Homo-oligomer: A and B are copies of this chain.
């Protein structure tokens, strides 16, 4: 088989060739008007993606986890109480961060595949009025759920608890209406919906958050928001920025804006609907019990099939990379990512590969059944 490598992973995701080539342009110095222009363009582009006009947005040379850490160390002081929503591996990471920094994390936990409702958040906020912040994850890629950020924000706006949202895998996939909903802080990484390689983190900070930043006593230096704010006044960064990735970001953001944000969201909704229809047509069951995200489709491994071997073969022999489960989910699920630089014909490739690999592994497949189900979604779609 002629292998064309395609990523349907939960990040890093496929990168447009135009963006790859922008990374390859000759180096420029960062303390120049030339770079400042690109840097500010990307900052403005990210504001558009976060759907904010009022927030400050900063670009970090780090992964998304570095951006998560930035939010914790700039908002809190040692011993501070904070709520965190834990419905998968990335929610748990908020808990690990709070613990590492000596804060008191109060966990709102749901079993994998489920979400925490706004009602549960309301109860927790009432029970813990002294919680300084609520840390949550918009799209939990370990289980395929999307959380009700709009619902949470409607509550935290009233209580004054700071709402911090990990949008690492959701930004540019699900709407994150930062200003309209009243989110306080949002963090993301470059390698998902932004259609970029990994290596950049981004953080959006609402104006009302700076008071908490001033009061925060947790130690920080590399991830200091005040240092970033001071630097951006001169259209620069406090420390050397990841120049090639930022130039690539300019190209990727221009592509997203040319498509139009609402169209981007609609495309992802269509790809997700088609993916779910496709796997269901194969007789497979979705792992996600509620709040299915448009980021990826998490599917239960069919009984009697060694799913990790199937996934590995798809990658090594077909060039089509899906992923299995992480941690306790290993061998129990597989995940078909459809975020970022993905269109409907890519989904046909992924489902075609899945039909073939499952069939070869002894699972009963009616040829084209997943494809037809997906195609039905595509043909009725206006995208």
Contacts and interface: CB of A to CB of B under 8 A. Distances in A.
A219 interface: yes
A293 B305 CA distance: 62
A244 B101 contact: no
Contact of A218 (B23, B219, B222): B219
A20 B25 CA distance: 7
A316 B137 CA distance: 46
Report how many copies the assembly holds: 2
A240 B141 CA distance: 14
Contacts of A239: 63-66
Given A198-B240, A243-B198, A15 B26 contact: yes
Interface stretch (A5-13, A50-58, A373-381): A5-13
Closest 9 CB pairs of A and B: A199-B242, A24-B24, A65-B239, A197-B244, A100-B221, A20-B24, A63-B239, A198-B240, A63-B240
14 contacts: A7-B29, A13-B27, A15-B27, A20-B25, A20-B244, A21-B24, A27-B197, A61-B61, A63-B240, A96-B221, A100-B221, A100-B224, A198-B242, A198-B243
Given A23-B23, A199-B245, A244-B244, 12 more contacts: A5-B26, A7-B27, A32-B315, A61-B199, A63-B222, A66-B239, A100-B221, A197-B242, A197-B245, A199-B243, A219-B219, A244-B245
